[in-house]
Amino acid sequence: MIKIILNGNTQTCEPGKKVGEILADNNALAARVNGQIVDLAYELKQDSEVNPIYFDSQEGRSIFWHSTSHLMAHAVRLLFPDVKLAIGPAIDEGFYYDFDLTHSLTEKDLEKIEAKMRELVKKNLPIVHKFIAKPELEKSYHQAGEKYKLEILSEVPDEKISTYEQDGFFDLCLGPHLSNTGIIKAFKLLSVAGAYWKGDEHNPMLQRIYGVSFPSQEQLDEYITKLEDAKRRDHRKLGPQLGLFLFSEDLGPGLMLWTPKGALMRRIIEDYWIDTHFKAGYEITYTPHIARGHLWETSGHFSYYKENMFTMTIEKEEYALKPMNCPGHILIYKSAVRSYRELPIRYAELGTVYRNERSGVMHGALRVRGFTQDDAHIFCTPDQIEDEIYSTLQLAIKIMSDFGFKDFHIDLSLRDPNHKEQYVGTDEQWDMGEQALIKALDRSGLKYTRREGEATFYAPKIDIKLLDSLGREWQCPTIQFDFNLPSRFNLYYMGADGRHHTPFMIHRAILGALERFLGILIEHYAGAFPVWLNPVQATVLTITEAETDYAEQVIAQLKTQNIRVNKDFRNEKISYKIGEAERDKIPYILIIGKREKEQNKVALRKRRQGDLGAANLETVIEQIKQDIFERR
RNA sequence: GCCCAUGUAGCUCAGUCGGCAGAGCACUUCCUUGGUAAGGAAGAGGUCGUCGGUUCGAUUCCGACCGUGGGCUCCA
């Protein structure tokens, strides 16, 4: 007999008993036995601690989705016998499988594949874990012409290969997997896309099908509702609809036109940004959009970034549009001999940069070729770096929360300790830099994830990802050291010892790029911006022409209070005008009819709250100002 | 850049198996002066993404290109 601890309770059983029988729980997808994740068919051989794994954990979902991916591959194999299978993992939200198939898959095919998958689910096929001798497996893959599987196999050192099989369809896989196809109650194939074998563009292009699955139809419906909600928030749709920005084929891809309302919002953001940065001890600069090639040679951009730069020839000399603002700031730093007494120097700039992004990667306002970074570069002494990182973090968090983002995921990217030769800079610099980042994070009390080997070649960094109202992540603030440019440009400062010292340089952006940040704000607020950000804060609607004079007085009063106000005096029914104002997501709608005019009031209607009845204008102005003050 | 899909009025979308291009909303004018999310009528609006080919005739079929979308890749 062996001892089993299940959910903290101890019991005994015969050796060889399956985990699934011990759990006796229909909702358990797999189990963790002594810390190792195993199938329900796993046989217990020794004293073990057993914990069930459900769909509510990341591990559980991953197993569920991986099994669905196999199910899909099984269906595709049945429908298209000549298919060659590549890989089919679970991903953050769902799964995919890559196929090499002569037939081009379409949406219609997805329906067919789903139907075939449903058949396989109904059959309740057992999913069986088997170990097959490598030569045997190689032989059968060779016969089937499964070249991708053979390639994977050649990279596996094991002699006995772990595979999973369901009704004759098998796939190499470490597992674990669900015990039966019948568990996969609800799934949807979402899209078909091209993907290179192993993600390398020199390799053949495969066809990838993305999908998602759940233990119940309700969960799938909920997921689909969420997708639809995300679609309703799509900044590419709302942006032009709300008059914020647009793209024009005549202008060129990845180049954004800020239309008046969007430009006004940008102005509000910029004013806030500049004011906040002045208060935080930054100095504002402007640097030109083009610079001679020589500068980009010194900075190194021409050797490692030139293919992403727009270049031109002026008087026989090569110039380039700036892809980054740092060289300009460095030239300002270098324009005088700097003393340790004047450090830290913090140069901030809303700098518009241009990058020649590959044609397939542009995406609405989020990925463009011309964009304005809220960039800054801090030059400081070694003993200032921790404080500088700390205050930059505080500033980033303050700004993000002012824009309504309160939840973050923070990544700390460090160098790969086993491949130190890949990085520029000295060990001393790296140790100081990494320690400063860690200390500043700890001092801030922020939770973060360490990512070894994720640093850029020139320095470690902190990336902050915002979570929006749908729980989606957006990478915005980034704080990175630079151990490369100060030495390339021979930067120094005069130390207390009368000698030259190389300053530490910190790059940082908080909003990222204004274009992208506007897109994120639209998605986060679904276009219904807080009052302080909304380009139109209030609108005045009249019921009949008789109230026009009084309504104009109301508007004049709002304007003296610096409230951004619109009007709609058109000869239309009030409900028509309200509908339009609501669709424009204007936060305050002031309605004026005969009664309001007589009583010297306004009828207030607030976004999402509806009709609030008559109120004194002064009260309404106070409310608006309070909303602005509290950034609601 | 690559694979696949896609492009008809300002917007959302019909349609033409090759023969003068359609609706709703928006816009203009007129009627309606109305009380909390779309009152009525009339009018105007399109080189059917661009260029080329096939054809008596192309928005429709074919090709190239451009844009957009889903991905891959890249993201200093």
Looking at A189, A211, A226, which one is the last position of a domain?
A226
Residue A582 has pLDDT above 80, yes or no: yes
Which candidate in A235, A329, A507, A564 is catalytic? A507
Is residue A267 among the annotated active site residues?
no
Residue A460 carries which side chain, given as an amino acid letter? P
Residue A47 has pLDDT above 90, yes or no: no
**A104 φ, ψ to 5°?**
-80, 120
Distance CA A170, CA A149 (A): 11
* Residue A19 confidence (pLDDT): 80
Distance CA A155, CA A108 (A): 36
Whichever domain contains A489, its CATH number is 3.30.930.10
Residue A8 has pLDDT above 80, yes or no: no
Distance CA A463 to C1' B75 in A: 14
Secondary structure of residue A404 in the 3-state scheme: coil
Let me know whether A124 and A179 are in one domain: yes
Q: Does a structural domain hold residue A176? A: yes
| Strand B contact residues in chain A (206-235), C-beta within 7 Å | 207-208, 210
- Count of structural domains within chain A: 5
Residue A491 has pLDDT above 90, yes or no: yes
Task: Answer for the pair A499, A377: CB distance below 8 angstroms, yes or no.
Answer: no
Q: Does a structural domain hold residue A130? A: yes
Distance CA A249 to C1' B49 in A: 9
Let me know whether A300 and A357 are in one domain: no
**A626 φ, ψ to 5°?**
-65, -45
Residue length of chain A: 632
Burial readout A52-63 (b: 16 or more C-beta within 10 A, e: otherwise) = bbebeeebbbbb
Assess whether A138 (CB) lies less than 7 A from strand B.
no
Whichever domain contains A138, its CATH number is 3.30.980.10
Let me know whether A298 and A439 are in one domain: no
Q: How confident is the model at residue A599 (pLDDT cuts 50, 70, 90)?
A: very high
Assess whether A301 (CB) lies less than 7 A from strand B.
yes
Let me know whether A577 and A625 are in one domain: yes
Assess whether A300 (CB) lies less than 7 A from strand B.
yes
Span of A98-107, A340-349, A498-507, A509-518 with lowest mean pLDDT: A98-107
Q: Which helix (H) or strand (E) holds A627?
A: helix A617-629
Q: Which residue is nearest to nucleotide B34 (CA to C1')?
A: A573
Distance CA A364, CA A207 (A): 25
Q: Which nucleotide is nearest to A596 (CA to C1')?
A: B35
Residue A566 has pLDDT above 90, yes or no: yes
Question: Residue A65, exposed/middle/buried by CB under 10 A (0-12, 13-18, 19+)?
Answer: buried
Residue A22 has pLDDT above 80, yes or no: no
Q: Does ipTM come in above 0.85? A: yes
Q: How confident is the model at residue A609 (pLDDT cuts 50, 70, 90)?
A: very high
Q: How confident is the model at residue A170 (pLDDT cuts 50, 70, 90)?
A: confident
Q: Does a structural domain hold residue A249? A: no
Assess whether A575 (CB) lies less than 7 A from strand B.
yes
The verdict on whether omega for the bond into residue A344 sits within 30 degrees of 0, i.e. cis, is yes
Q: Which nucleotide is nearest to A570 (CA to C1')?
A: B33
Distance CA A263, CA A317 (A): 35
Q: Does a structural domain hold residue A259? A: no
Span of A14-23, A223-232, A377-386 with lowest mean pLDDT: A14-23
Q: Does a structural domain hold residue A510? A: yes
Distance CA A63, CA A177 (A): 6
Is residue A373 among the annotated active site residues?
yes
Let me know whether A316 and A344 are in one domain: no
Q: Which helix (H) or strand (E) holds A622?
A: helix A617-629
Let me know whether A75 and A192 are in one domain: yes
* Residue A255 confidence (pLDDT): 93
Give A337's DSSP letter.
P
Assess whether A252 (CB) lies less than 7 A from strand B.
yes
* Residue A18 confidence (pLDDT): 79
Task: Answer for the pair A434, A417: CB distance below 8 angstroms, yes or no.
Answer: no
Distance CA A234 to C1' B29 in A: 36
- Of residues A412, A506, A403, A405, the one with CA closest to residue A463: A412
Distance CA A257 to C1' B65 in A: 24
Q: Does a structural domain hold residue A256? A: no
Let me know whether A306 and A428 are in one domain: no
Residue A501: which residues within 8 A CB-CB, separation 6 or more? A340, A381, A492, A493, A494, A495
Let me know whether A197 and A329 are in one domain: no
Q: Which nucleotides of B are covered by protein (CB under 7 A)?
A: 1-5, 12, 31-39, 66-74, 76
Let me know whether A304 and A425 are in one domain: no
Looking at A492, A525, A558, which one is the last position of a domain?
A525
Please give the full DSSP string across A485-504, using - where no structure is assigned.
Answer: HHHHTT--EE-TTSSEEPPE
Q: Does a structural domain hold residue A239? A: no
Let me know whether A31 and A117 are in one domain: no
Q: Does a structural domain hold residue A267? A: no
Q: Which nucleotide is nearest to A582 (CA to C1')?
A: B37
Give A197's DSSP letter.
G
Task: Answer for the pair A124, A181: CB distance below 8 angstroms, yes or no.
Answer: yes
Q: At what angle do helices A427-444 and A385-402 cross, to 10 degrees?
A: 40
The verdict on whether omega for the bond into residue A215 sits within 30 degrees of 0, i.e. cis, is no
Give A182's DSSP letter.
G
- Of residues A553, A552, A531, A551, the one with CA closest to residue A543: A551
Let me know whether A518 and A543 are in one domain: no
Residue A441 has pLDDT above 80, yes or no: yes
A228: region left, alpha or beta (phi > 0 left; psi from -120 to 50 alpha): alpha
Distance CA A64, CA A180 (A): 11
Task: Answer for the pair A511, A533: CB distance below 8 angstroms, yes or no.
Answer: no
Which residue range is the domain that position A136 belongs to?
A: 58-226
Which candidate in A166, A373, A429, A480 is catalytic? A373
The C-alpha angle A124, A125, A126, rounded to 5 degrees, equals 115
Looking at A17, A33, A53, which one is the last position of a domain?
A53
Let me know whether A512 and A394 are in one domain: yes
Distance CA A568, CA A264 (A): 20
Whichever domain contains A46, its CATH number is 3.10.20.30
Secondary structure of residue A397 in the 3-state scheme: helix
Residues A219-265: pLDDT tens digits? 999 998 888 888 889 999 999 999 999 999 889 999 999 999 999 99
Proportion of chain A above pLDDT 90, given as a percent: 68
Which candidate in A70, A377, A508, A601 is catalytic? A377
Is residue A134 among the annotated active site residues?
no
